[in-house]
Amino acid sequence: MNEKPPRRRRQRRLSDAERTLWGEVTRGVAPLCPPAKPAPETEASPKPVAAAEPPQDRVPAPVAREPSHPPPLAPLGRRMRQRIARGSHAIGGRLDLHGLKQREAHAALLRFLRTAQTRGVTLVLVITGKGARGGESGGERGVLKRQVPLWLRLPAFHELVVGFEPAHVIHGGEGALYVRLRRTREIG
């Protein structure tokens, strides 16, 4: 078997207009990770032709990186909802917020979800209540039913919550939520 070595291609040199254009494109770009230390060059080895480097007097400004954000909330999915309703996927805990004021309910929810996550629970049921129909007592009704989903979308809950959905009728229907929790990352 007689294999030929692969042919080397000659690199085409960029024109001045192409170099200028490339410099404009790369001016505001910052590397994702710091470049590796270059190997020491010897006099005998020829320098490789660079694609086109921006002029040395222009150093690109560092780009401010945003802190890493968790992914957006995700729905539970049809199969998981079916397993929960049938009882083949266990609910790791229940929190009933009936009768609590908003401030109390918010604190209780945050504390409950943190504790559940610490225990390694992946799914909990949060009961908000449906609210009285018609607002018979003159006050605003169904406040927690509206507020809890908003709270679960807040940054304070992002480290805890993967997603949530209204519960099945057997678990409270519109007056309850299944909340899926993130697993804790083990720092080793």
Mean pLDDT is highest, among 21-25, 66-70, 94-98, for 94-98
pLDDT at residue 104 tops 50: yes
- Going 105 to 110 to 113 to 114, the CA torsion angle's sign is negative
For domain 78-181, the CATH architecture is 2-Layer Sandwich (3.30)
Tell me the domain boundaries of the chain.
78-181
- Taking only the tens place, the pLDDT of each residue in 27-71 is 777 766 666 665 555 555 555 555 555 555 555 555 555 556 666
Kindly report the number of other CB atoms within 10 A of residue 155's CB atom: 8
Three-state secondary-structure class, residue 107: helix
Whether residue 134 contacts residue 142, with contact meaning beta carbons closer than 8 Å, is answered with no
- Taking only the tens place, the pLDDT of each residue in 124-170 is 989 988 776 554 455 567 888 888 888 888 888 888 888 888 887 77
**pTM for this model (two decimals):** 0.56
pLDDT at residue 106 tops 50: yes
Q: Output the pLDDT for position 130.
A: 79
Closest listed residue to residue 113, CA positions, set 144, 92, 129, 88: 92
Residue of higher predicted confidence among 42 and 175: 175
Q: Output the pLDDT for position 69.
A: 61
